[in-house]
Amino acid sequence: MISKEKNEKNILLITFLFIPTLILLLFVLYPAFKLFILSFSEWNGYSSSTNFVGLNNYKNIFIDSPEVWSSLTNNGLYFFAHLAIIPLELYIAVLLDRYIRKSEFFKSIIFLPNIINGVAVAYMFSYLYGSQGGILNAILSKVGLDSIGWLSNPEIVNYSLVSISIWQFTGVHVILFLAGLQSISKDMLEAAEIDGANVYHQFTKIILPNMKTVLSLILFLNIRGALMVFEIPFIITSGGPGISSSTFTLTSIKAAFDYQNFGKASAMAIIMIFMILIINFVQKKIFKMEE
C-alpha cells in the first residue's frame, strides 16, 4: 500500500515537472547550445549551411572591431551612473520607511516609470529632448539660452540616454531597498535607540549589515541591465550620431541583422554571458570576504 502511494506520488511529481523541464530544454538550454556552436561559425541568417571558422569571430570582436570597445564604454557609463545613484535610492527608501506618512502613494509614483512600456518611455523622452520643438530646448529659449543638441551632440548624447535609464529603473531599486528595510526587526532598532545609538550608528551598524543581500541583488541587476541596454538607444538614436551612443547589445543586433553576420553576433552574446557570470562571481567573492 505504501509502495503504491509512493509510486503515485512519483508519477504526479514527474507529470508536473515534465512540461517545465521540456520548456527549459527547448527554449533555454537548446538555444544556448546552438548559440555557442554558431559563435564558431559564419552564417548569414538564411542559408541552409554554416561555415566553421573557429575563433575568428572572437578574434574579430577583440582585435578588429573598435566599435565593440566603444559600445562597452557606453555600457560602462550606464553601470557607473546607476552605481552612483544607489546611495540616493537607499536614502529615499529610508525616508519612505521611517519618515513619510501615507507612503503607499509615493511608492506607487516611484515605481510607476518601471511599468511603463520601454518603447513609450523612449518616444516620450524623444519629444522631451527633440532639437526642434523639444520641451527642454523650448524652456532654454524662454530664458534666453541657446538650444542644446541633447541627442545630436556626441559628447552629451549618452548622458541624455543614461538619465532616461535612471528615471525608469530607480524605482525598482528603491522598492527592493524598502523591502529589505521592512524585513529588519523594529525591536532591534528600538533597542539600539534606547541604548543611545543615533541615526548614523543605527544605519551603519544595523541597517547596512542587514541589507547586504538586497544590495548584492541590486548590484547584479545593475551589471546585467547595463550590459543589456538596448531599447533606449535603439529607438531614440539608433546608436547615433555615428556609433557614439551604441551599446554592446545594439552593436550585436546590428552585426546580425544589418550586416548578416550572425556568427559574430552569437560570439558577442556568448561574451556578454561570460562577462555577467564573471562579474557576478567576483561580486559574490567580495561580499563573502566582507562577511
If you write DSSP's letter for every residue of 244-260 in order, what string do you get?
Answer: TT--HHHHHHHHHHTS-
pTM, two decimals, is 0.88
* 198 within domain boundaries: yes
Question: Coil, helix or strand for 215?
Answer: helix
Indicate the number of domains in the chain: 1
pLDDT tens per residue across all 291 residues of the chain: 557 677 777 787 888 888 888 998 998 899 999 999 999 999 888 888 888 998 999 999 988 888 899 999 999 999 999 999 998 998 888 888 877 766 678 888 888 888 888 889 998 998 899 877 788 888 888 888 888 889 988 999 999 999 999 999 999 999 999 888 888 877 787 788 787 777 778 877 888 888 888 888 898 899 889 988 998 999 999 998 888 999 999 999 999 998 899 999 999 999 999 998 898 888 888 877 666
Contact 78, 165 (CB under 8 A): yes
Provide the residue range defining the domain that includes 229.
67-121+149-290
* 206 within domain boundaries: yes
Question: Coil, helix or strand for 93?
Answer: helix
CATH of the domain at 175: 1.10.3720.10
Comparing C-alpha atoms, which of 153, 283, 275, 127 is closest to residue 220?
283
* 223 within domain boundaries: yes
Question: 10 Å Cβ neighbour count for 205?
Answer: 12
pLDDT for the residue numbered 33: 93
Residue 51, φ and ψ in degrees, nearest 5: -110, 125
* 58 within domain boundaries: no
DSSP letter string, 159-171 = HHHHHHHHHHHHH
Comparing C-alpha atoms, which of 219, 221, 193, 217 is closest to residue 206?
193
Contact 163, 150 (CB under 8 A): no
Cell of residue 41, nine digits: 561559425
* 277 within domain boundaries: yes
Comparing C-alpha atoms, which of 145, 151, 154 is closest to residue 130?
151
Cα 157 from Cα 149, distance rounded (Å): 8
* 202 within domain boundaries: yes
pLDDT for the residue numbered 289: 67
* 96 within domain boundaries: yes
* 19 within domain boundaries: no
Cell of residue 227, nine digits: 550590459
The 8-class DSSP code of residue 145 comes to P
